[in-house]
Structure 1
Amino acid sequence: MTETRNDTRTSGPLEGEENPYLLGVYAPVDTEISADDLEVIGEIPRDLNGVYLRNGPNRRFPAQGRYHWFDGDGMVHGVHFENGRARYANRWVRTAAFAAEDAAGQALWTGVMEDPKGNPFGNGHGLGIKDSANTDVIFFNGRILSTWYLCGSPTTMDPLSLETLGAETFLGTLTGDFMAHPKVDEATGELFWFDYGPEPPYLRYGVVGPDGKVAHTADIGLPGPRLPHDMAITENHVVLMDLPLIQDQEARLQGRYRIHFERELPSRFAVLPRRGDSASVRWFEAAPGYIYHVVNAWEEGDEIVMDVCRVKDPQHQPRIRHPLARMLAYLRLDAQLWRYRFDLRTGRTTEGPRDDDNTEFPMVDSRVVGRRNRFGYAVHIAPEDTLLFDGLVRYDLHTGERQDHRFGPGRWGSEAPFAPRDGGTEEDDGYLVSFVTDEREGRSEVVVLDAADLAAGPVCRILLPQRVPTGFHSCWVRADQLDGAAR
């Protein structure tokens, strides 16, 4: 095992106020390590080959003011599976802001809940918050892209060493910022993204071609500044969102970042051709709500079908007495599996729930993104005061059936991507892989489950030499994709 140690303090400047997102399973780790020959309970399947990567916030230096979970520096944790063995590594995402603070030996940015006026720089729209690239991790054109939830500069990393390679410019063709959840169509080799900001036209959509260059961009006019988080693609279309969660412009002019939910505004969805522009947008209206994450979308005749995890009320009222009560309330999730149908012939929207349980962070087989899928996999949200994942759910979207796996008391998991077994072609012919941390032992492991039989429990558990803090999004990179990247 090799390691690189950094001086990290987890105590913040708020004396006597415990921030739960700096404690227990959320507490940052201060060591970058690489470890082979991990202890295994059970046996790692030999047909499970590839790498599991998960991003998340891991604060390096304490900053002035209140810490928000979204403030932490990006850190990617990875487990490489090869021929029945596993290797673990974790590395900070070395963004421009990380490099500046590393050179200074201290925090230079305040957090999202503080005035950013004195911060060195922000994103391309002048938002002075630190772009930490801590949100998602996506495989495209042989590299990993680490992204940021408020639109920033995508950071490229090597999928095995996790070495930061630099800001991704797509061969010098990217202008502006880049959202958290771009979509990759593995069938065409294209990547789809958007960029949003506080000034007209508020939303810009783009496509990166299989050659790695930006091939298309289009400005999409909105009534005002919005906070879209995700998008969808189908074989011929994209779906962009105008949802009634809005950045407060008065607060922005005063140097503060504040959002509010306009309960009287409808949700609106822009459907346009993949290489379309504002003139080709078809707008569809639906009940007000918010969508953090899309499951998938596809075409059925004249209809676009889109499954999402829909949040009915994205601004919960505080339910506990705490100095950070508003932040704690905002970070709670209450989402349902929800289906929209957009009829391109009539302009009609049909919508409704597919499940009433609280599930989020959905995943599908990456090979079927934009095509009709049968299975979706999600985390189950625990009924706790902080955001914790107490299990996994498999949805059969054809039959409506579901399977569940719970991690057990005091054990909290991560977003779990689908990992196809070697040669497998079906959407459940493979495994789900998740980091799980036991808060009682302060220890983490990787749990591997049979995607076709979650109720059977773990196929194996891989014990890790270091705790993995609870984090955000993940991906699975298949061995054939790694081989292609190496060439």
Structure 2
Amino acid sequence: MGLDHIPADQDWFVPNASMAGPFAPTHSEVVAQDLQVIGDLPADLNGMYVRNGPSPAHAPHGKYHWFDGDGMLHSVRFQGGRATYRNRWVQTDGLKAETEAGQSLWPGLKERMPEGALPDDAMKNTSNTDVKFHNGTLYSMWYRGGAVYTVDPGSLTTLGKLETDPRLVGLQISAHSRVDEATGEFVFFAYGNRHPYMHHGVIGADGALKSLVPVELPGPRLPHDMAITRNYSVLHDFPLINNPEALARGRYSLEFRQDWPTRFAVIPRHGTADQIRWFEFQPRYMLHVANAWEEVNAQGETEIVMLGTPYANPRGYDGGLDVQRLLFTIGTQGTDYELYQWRMNLTTGATREGIVDDILNTEFPMINTRYQGVKNRYTYNVLMGRPRTLEQPHFAGLVKYDLQTGAALAYHPGEGYWFSEAPFAPRDGATEEDDGYVVGFVWNGLANRSEVWVTDARDIAKGPVARVILPQRVPHGFHSCWVRDDQLSAARVA
């Protein structure tokens, strides 16, 4: 195994539930080739898996939350049956300032903000949440919204900020934006604690901002994701908010207003503010969308269908929503989800919604990205384990849903393994939606090491066909993407 090791300038460990085991930070940037493989890496798997996640570069002061860590990208490049691993911190403005100071400077999610400062102003944009490939580069993003950092897909070197237009400067772009491979467009939303509280925008395949539209909300909200179809975007307004009084004092305090509906805004991708249509549903809260598409029903009416994994609504003894239990689950990173569907009729304005699966507890849905915005048959979700401790969500396995037949296949190797969000990777020359692999990091707690597992997408239940042993721990993290070999070649990545 060849290893190019860049030593870290400090070695520290702070006892904390969110900094132990698979959550413990990594302090080195490395490049490793000719990695050991258990099984056989498929020769027709060519491309790059890259995942974002937190790994604090400096010892935090005060209480540490898993979401606070500095963004670190980890990639595995697959070429001709061989794998190369590398990782690098995203060099955000905040990380640069802390590196110069030699210590942590910003408060974390559990800390009180400076007097009079909104959390948006006082928290560091760690760029630790999601990563997308667009216009030849990787985009690294933060869940609270902020500047998007551009990263070279080959070296993982931070190139700068995505500020190709003056209107993007200072805009709090959310981590969960979408890339339409059919048009090459990057569709995003931005949100924050200042009026109008949300924006919708589109960046073209050439990197130029094509549209930016304000989306009026009644007040600050906590959206997390969005959806796109071929012609529309779907933006979220859930009844989960920060308590206004606490927010004014620089603190987070979640409230769920069960008397408010869930609202979805449907806007033509290149539309204007006056074209936004709102659809109301039962009060729920959701983090991640699987996909959305346009569908013509038996009456010839166009519906937008959106599939996602909202939190299950816990019920009290009286059958009503147990709001405190829901807030506790959300606030402590508990895992209790359902696969759910919403339908919005663009012709009549009617809505429908319902549970697709409330048996398997799954989240972090991924699809074959060629089907982004059009009707897909399969989703690949993380199987969530039962919580053992607070603030340590256990990603316990994988589930493949067949939306056409209603079937689900699950794989769970037993105690001691922690999975990551696992994107679909098409095999070379694939013609069918599920002709390929599911690729993701796995923390092997039994062997105390990180691995990359490659699983045949058509036979999830059999487990991995290959396990790549990594040279260092990959801390438990968030979102990922697969970049095909032809995309890397177009971006001139060697």
Note whether the superposition's TM-score is higher than 0.5.
yes
Following superposition, the deviation at residue 110 of structure 1 comes to 1.4
Partner of 1:462: 468
CA distance in 1, matches of 2:10, 2:139: 25
Where do 1:9-408 residues align within 5 Å?
9-12=11-14, 18-117=15-114, 126-170=120-164, 174-175=168-169, 176-301=171-296, 302-313=302-313, 329-356=331-358, 357-384=360-387, 385=389, 386-408=392-414
- Distance, in Å, in 1 between the alignment partners of 2:172 and 2:44 is 39
Deviation of residue 312 (structure 1)? Answer: 3.3
Q: Is the 8 A contact 1:316 1:330 kept in 2?
A: no
Q: Is the 8 A contact 2:361 2:384 kept in 1?
A: yes
CA contact (8 A) 2:366 2:423 kept: yes
Q: Which amino acid aligns with 1:486?
A: R
CA RMSD of aligned residues (A): 2.1
Deviation at 1:118, TM superposition (A): 8.2
Structure 2 CA distance, aligned partners of 1:328 and 1:9? 32
User: What is the SS of the residue equivalent to 1:367?
Assistant: helix
Contact 1:50 1:477 in 2 (8 A): yes
Runs of 4+, deviation exceeding 6 Å: 325-328
Structure 2 contact 115–250 (Cα < 8 Å) conserved: no
1:3 is matched with: 5
Cα distance between partner residues in 1 of 2:114 and 2:436: 49
2:136 and 2:490 in contact (8 A); partners too:
yes
Counterpart amino acid of residue 361 in structure 1: F
Judge conservation of contact 2:51–2:130 (CA < 8 Å) in 1.
yes
SS of structure 2 residue aligned to 1:132: coil
Letter in 2 for 1:331: Q
Contact 1:389–1:412 (CA<8 Å) still a contact in 2?
Answer: yes
Question: Following the alignment from structure 1 to structure 2, what is the Cα–Cα distance between the partners of residues 400 and 455?
Answer: 16
Against the structure 1 CA distance between its residues 316 and 141, is the aligned structure 2 distance closer, same or farther, given a 3 Å change threshold?
farther
Q: Percent identity?
A: 49
| Residue range with higher mean Cα deviation, 363-372 or 258-267 | 258-267
Change (3 A) 1:172 1:485: farther
- 1: CA distance between counterparts of 2:329 and 2:146? 22
Query: What are the Cα deviations for residues 418-456 of structure 1, in whole angstroms up to 9, with x where unaligned?
Result: 000011122210000011112232201111000011112
In structure 2, distance between residues paired with 1:312 and 1:434: 26
Name the CA distance, whole Å, in 2 between partners of 1:434 and 1:184. Answer: 20
What letter is aligned with 1:146?
A: S
Output the CA distance in 2 between the equivalents of 1:327 and 1:370: 30
Unaligned runs of 5+ in 1: 13-17, 320-324
**Aligned residue pair count:** 474
Distance 1:42 1:269, change over 3 A: same
Normalising to structure 2: TM-score of the pair?
A: 0.92
Are 1:54 and 1:137, in contact at CA under 8 Å, matched by a contact in 2? yes
- Contact 1:9 1:62 (8 Å CA) reproduced: no
Structure 1 CA distance for aligned equivalents of residues 30 and 329 of structure 2: 32
Q: Which moved more, 1:243-252 or 1:1-10?
A: 1-10
Note if contact 1:407-1:413 (Cα within 8 Å) is conserved in structure 2: no
SS of the residue 2:95 aligns to: helix
1:199 CA displacement? 2.0
Question: 1:480 is paired with a residue of what secondary structure?
Answer: helix
Q: Distance in 1 between matches of 2:325 and 2:221?
A: 24
Structure 1 residue 237, shift from structure 2 partner: 0.9
Give 1:160 shift. 2.0
Query: One-letter code of the match for 1:128?
Result: A
Match of 1:15 in 2: none
Corresponding residue SS for 1:103: helix
User: In the alignment, is the contact (CA less than 8 A) between 2:72 and 2:90 conserved in 1?
Assistant: yes
1:479 maps to 2:485: yes
1:191-223 CA distance string (max 9 Å, x none): 111111112211111111122111101111111
CA contact (8 A) 1:360 1:378 kept: yes
- Out of 455, 477, 480, the position equivalent to 1:449 is 455
State the distance in 1 between where 2:408 and 2:312 align: 22
Offset at residue 164 of structure 1 (A): 1.0
**Preserved CA contact (<8 Å) 1:391 1:413:** yes
SS at match of 1:127: helix
The one-letter code matched in structure 1 to 2:427 is R
Q: How far is 1:278 from its partner?
A: 2.3
Deviations 1:113-158 (A, max 9, x none): 1123289x999xx521010000001000010011000001111111
Assess if the C-alpha contact under 8 Å between 1:361 and 1:378 holds in 2: yes
Deviation at 1:82, TM superposition (A): 0.3
CA distance in 2, matches of 1:358, 1:42: 29
CA contact (8 A) 1:53 1:475 kept: yes
Contact 2:172 2:192 in 1 (8 A): no
Indicate the SS of the match to 1:204. Answer: strand
Q: 1:139 to 1:316 in 2, by over 3 A?
A: farther
In structure 2, distance between residues paired with 1:313 and 1:148: 27
Alpha-carbon distance in 2 for matches of 1:328, 1:349: 26
Q: Tell me the amino acid that sits aligned with residue 290 of structure 1.
A: Y
Query: Deviation digits for residues 307-359 of structure 1, max 9, x if unmatched?
Result: 0111135998689xxxxx96995211211110111111121111111111210
Q: 2: CA distance between counterparts of 1:316 and 1:25?
A: 31
Cα 1:328–1:179 change in 2 (3 A) is: closer
| Amino acid across the alignment from 1:448 | V
| Conservation of the 8 A alpha-carbon contact between 1:68 and 1:327 | no
What is the CA–CA distance in structure 1 between the aligned matches of 2:160 and 2:413, rounded to whole Å?
36
1:425 is aligned to 431
The amino acid across from 2:156 in the alignment is L
User: Could you tell me whether the CA contact under 8 Å between 1:340 and 1:350 is conserved in 2?
Assistant: yes
1:63, distance to aligned residue in structure 2 (A)? 2.2
| Amino acid of the structure 2 residue aligned with 1:371 | V
Q: 1:208 to 1:285 in 2, by over 3 A?
A: same
Which stretch has the larger CA shift, 250-259 or 277-286?
Answer: 250-259
- Structure 1's 127 and 327: CA in aligned 2 closer, same or farther, altered over 3 A? farther
